Structure 1
Amino acid sequence: MIRPSIRCVLLMAAGAPLALLVGVFAPQFWFAGLAWVPMILAFAAIDAALAPRAPALRTSCPGSIEIGAPLIVEITVADRPIDGLELAVATGPKLAPRAEGRIRLGKRENHAAIAFLPVRRGTDKVEALWSRWTGPFGMIWRQRVEKLDRTVVITPDIRPVRNSAHLLLRDAQMGEMARVDRGEGSEFEALAEWKSGMERRTIDWNHSARHLKLLARENRIERNNQVVFAIDTGRVMCEPIDGLPRVDRAITAALLGAYAALKLGDRVALFGFDSQPRVASGAVSGTRAFPLMQRLAGQLDYSSVETNYTLALATLAGDLTRRSLVVIFTEFTDPTGAELMIRAATNLLRGHLVLFVILADDELEDLAGAEPAAIDDVSRAVIAASMLRERRIVAARLRHAGIHVLEAKHDQVGAALVRQYLDFKRRNLL
């Protein structure tokens, strides 16, 4: 396919004022203006004939990518490089280009990499590769479209599991070999001589009096507890935070928490809900069950309906047959919905340990703290401050009811959740 370049169009347009000037100041040469356009077209035809032939391009991209991680499409010119070769890749709506979306190669360059950022989980395609180059005069573009039709599966993000799980669990009980956390947990392990640095509450006074020396109880953290990760996929949770929906941020944190729980010998279940329960898995144990949790988390779809906390939490409470740690990822914006959420969570609290995880809203914080420069800035700051105040009131009411609340930034919530979970185990709250 051949198209005129901007240079060719501008040269053709320049013929009109030149012909007008010739007609005004040298009317006897008025016919010169008629030759301008054919001359430019002749130059364009010569430029097209001298343009290099179409290059042979090889394209490679991964078949699956985690949401939030860049998808790199690599393009290699198999034969002679072309100076000024421009490349662009067409994708579906779930892959957004990180920069302009096209790249220009230099004279000796034969390799290019174009990055895309997945913005939604699911399946998308790398549809086509566009390439174009000019002739020696820069009058025309030669353009080619190569159909790729390559499927890309966008999965939940488990990079924190691979990168930081071992650091977060370094001081905890890991693997199949039991390690004793002295002075912590609830299961008795053994008696040992008390040494400086051990907590005084671990001293067993009866055995110490019998053996005429201080003896301390060594406990180990109890295993086989049940942890349920309940993820709200309603309308509010589908709003973006730093480029990705809140629900995807919650899924990443939940998977990190699930891996930590499985690694420490506890049982893990996943529950997804919006206007009604959507995903409800049974409790699984062992790190081999983590891929199952990942697949189930990938099935949590985006929703545009309001969340029904009463139905969802009542269903969850009816499904649980033993005391569990219920970790609820949600977001609240209106007082009415927050009131229904508090009532449903209070009913769930009767037989279970409940932890609410909410993401800190940096955008509201910035709007509330920004220095106003106009009347509209004042209005935005007042509304943002009001919304933040309502969030704090709801969080305070949850804590007052005996429900634990964890609020953290989206890039720190996973690590904060694991630390909170380990603290629950050490304090024997599960």
Structure 2
Amino acid sequence: MKPSPLLIRLLLIAALCALAVSAARIWWPSAAGLLTSAWWLGMGALALASALDFATGRHCQGLSGQRRLPGNLALGVEQEIQLDLENRGPRTLSLLLTDQIPAELRGRDLPLQIHLTPGQEIRAPYRATPIRRGLAAFGRLEALVSSPWHLWQRRVLFGEAQEVKVYPNFLGISSLQALSTEQSLRYMGVHQQQRRGEGLDFRQLREYRRGDSQRQVDWRASARMQKLISREYQDERDQEIIFLLDCGRRMRTRDGDLSHFDHALNALLLSAYVAIRQGDAVGLQCFAGDHSRLPPVKGEGAINLLLNHVYDLHSGTSHSDYTAAAEQLLARQQRRALVILLTNVRDEDSEDLTAAVQQLSRHHLVMVACLRERALDELLEKPVADFDDALMHGAGRDFVQRRNRLLQQLRARNTILADALPSAMHMSLVETYWQLKRSGRL
């Protein structure tokens, strides 16, 4: 039990009254005796009320509650969390309620002011936003319960501790599940190129449609059916896509509320989902600190396997060794695949990155997905007002030019590039994958 703000205010008022009585003895001696008696009477009443309130409020019986959590949470997406409370005790409870929120979440609307009459049940919501992936462990519910006259407060813990997984932002995947592949691509703003007709699997025969090419017409079937019949093709399936994910220190750079690593995971998951919908298998290999690996998987449950594999992955402080990562991947992946390297490149990586891409290109189709730092774009767009701004602008432009030279070197070696801001990387990855798929290169 501890004094409530009301009791503290009353004691402060009593202290001020004591000072007033002392001043009255000097300036108003005739009324000093009456004021002193009134002060002692008031203090006695306050002490008696405090003692009775302490005795009746020290026991808090019948308060119970539980927390209702979603099955999982998505990074950066605000969620409503429900607290179910019940008062089974004999008296009305007035309490200041909060929740022991884990470090992975940022809550708002807390603490909550709650009044519960005997036998009452209520549901009190508050909102929380995950700011870090992984396993988030909630503690118990915590309340400051006021005594009947609100002179004392007692700290009460109730409810059970709970855990919930914070995944990368999978809501983009959820919004695409009910759509066809073409609808999904249009929803994301991906431009679809007309396929060339090479490297595609035969699907079925159907009636000729306006716009079908002459080479699609099956003349034997047309003669049999006495009408034009076309062959329908589908993109080749059962290809493998391996994401080579950089977990090094550069991926810790923040872009808004999320790090480059979190943006890379979001892009990885969305593009993996599109590939799985196309019948391809998707795998993952990490490097630079974390060396976890998921062999290529396909089918309906593949995206869930990938989600559960990456939800607690985090970037570290290790240096990104591209050559070692390429050697490790070549030792494990024998079948030809599309290897997508997700990283944040700089010009000092030129030799190491070029050597790694050359190694991988002998056996695989290689794409380098580069996350561009938004801060550089903002620096170059900022007006130059003084000498310090000019120095910063020049340094930024020199950095960008050297980075662009590295990307040009990679393009000259026929390396596929996806260079985009972190928030737009998912669209760039999906569009590049779709172009490769439709062109028959994959």
Q: TM-score scaled to structure 1, two decimals?
A: 0.77
Gaps of 5+ in 2: 186-193, 221-227
Partner residue of 1:211? none
Partner residue of 1:327? 340
- Kept in 2, the 8 Å contact 1:272–1:300? The answer is no
1 CA distance for matches of 2:103 and 2:253?
Answer: 17
Task: Give runs of aligned pairs for residues 7-406 of structure 1, distance below 5 A.
Answer: 7-27=6-26, 29=32, 32=36, 35=40, 40-48=46-54, 53-54=60-61, 56-62=63-69, 64-68=71-75, 69-70=77-78, 72-79=80-87, 85-94=95-104, 96-99=105-108, 101-105=110-114, 110-135=122-147, 138-146=150-158, 148-167=160-179, 169-170=181-182, 184-187=197-200, 189=202, 197-198=211-212, 219-275=233-289, 278-298=291-311, 300-332=313-345, 334-337=346-349, 339-366=351-378, 369=381, 391-406=403-418
How big is the shift at 1:264?
1.7
1:387-429 deviations in whole A, cap 9, x for unaligned?
Answer: 5555545444433432222244555433442232121111112
* SS of residue paired to 1:256: helix
How big is the shift at 1:273?
1.0
Bigger shift: residues 183-192 or 132-141: 183-192
1 CA distance for matches of 2:351 and 2:44?
Answer: 76
Q: Which amino acid in the other structure matches residue 102 of structure 2?
A: G
- Kept in 2, the 8 Å contact 1:186–1:428? The answer is yes
Q: TM-score scaled to structure 2, two decimals?
A: 0.75
CA distance 1:53–1:217, shift in 2 (3 Å) = closer
How big is the shift at 1:221?
1.8
CA distance 1:170–1:54, shift in 2 (3 Å) = farther
How big is the shift at 1:367?
5.3
1:334-385 deviations in whole A, cap 9, x for unaligned?
Answer: 5323552233224323432222224454455445545689998888777666
How big is the shift at 1:306?
1.8
1 CA distance for matches of 2:386 and 2:113?
Answer: 42
How big is the shift at 1:227?
1.0
CA distance 1:193–1:329, shift in 2 (3 Å) = same
The count of residues paired between Structure 1 and Structure 2 equals 414
1 CA distance for matches of 2:379 and 2:22?
Answer: 62
Q: Which amino acid in the other structure matches residue 410 of structure 2?
A: L
* SS of residue paired to 1:98: strand
Bigger shift: residues 287-296 or 84-93: 287-296
CA distance 1:142–1:295, shift in 2 (3 Å) = closer
- Kept in 2, the 8 Å contact 1:258–1:268? The answer is yes
Matched residues, percent identical? 22
CA distance 1:170–1:105, shift in 2 (3 Å) = farther
1:62-101 deviations in whole A, cap 9, x for unaligned?
Answer: 375234144544212223796753211113322x233154
1:290-343 deviations in whole A, cap 9, x for unaligned?
Answer: 4333333346344222221121122213333233211111123x5323552233
1:42-74 deviations in whole A, cap 9, x for unaligned?
Answer: 444455467695552321333752341445442
Partner residue of 2:224? none
How big is the shift at 1:233?
1.3
How big is the shift at 1:128?
1.5
- Kept in 2, the 8 Å contact 1:185–1:221? The answer is no
- Kept in 2, the 8 Å contact 1:60–1:74? The answer is yes
RMSD: 4.3
Q: Which amino acid in the other structure matches residue 249 of structure 2?
A: R
How big is the shift at 1:231?
1.1
- Kept in 2, the 8 Å contact 1:183–1:217? The answer is no
How big is the shift at 1:102?
2.2
CA distance 1:25–1:342, shift in 2 (3 Å) = farther
- Kept in 2, the 8 Å contact 1:183–1:219? The answer is no
- Kept in 2, the 8 Å contact 1:83–1:107? The answer is yes
Bigger shift: residues 375-384 or 17-26: 375-384
Larger radius of gyration: 2
2 CA distance for matches of 1:305 and 1:362?
Answer: 23
- Kept in 1, the 8 Å contact 2:344–2:370? The answer is yes
1:221-254 deviations in whole A, cap 9, x for unaligned?
Answer: 2222221111111222234443334323322322
2 CA distance for matches of 1:295 and 1:129?
Answer: 28
2 CA distance for matches of 1:380 and 1:83?
Answer: 60
1 CA distance for matches of 2:360 and 2:82?
Answer: 51
* SS of residue paired to 2:160: strand
Partner residue of 1:177? none
How big is the shift at 1:112?
0.8
1 CA distance for matches of 2:56 and 2:389?
Answer: 58
2 CA distance for matches of 1:386 and 1:40?
Answer: 74
* SS of residue paired to 1:424: helix
* SS of residue paired to 1:105: strand
CA distance 1:62–1:172, shift in 2 (3 Å) = closer
2 CA distance for matches of 1:9 and 1:372?
Answer: 56
CA distance 1:362–1:73, shift in 2 (3 Å) = same
* SS of residue paired to 1:278: coil
1 CA distance for matches of 2:267 and 2:341?
Answer: 11
2 CA distance for matches of 1:85 and 1:372?
Answer: 56
2 CA distance for matches of 1:376 and 1:67?
Answer: 41
* SS of residue paired to 1:303: coil
2 CA distance for matches of 1:131 and 1:172?
Answer: 47
- Kept in 2, the 8 Å contact 1:130–1:144? The answer is yes
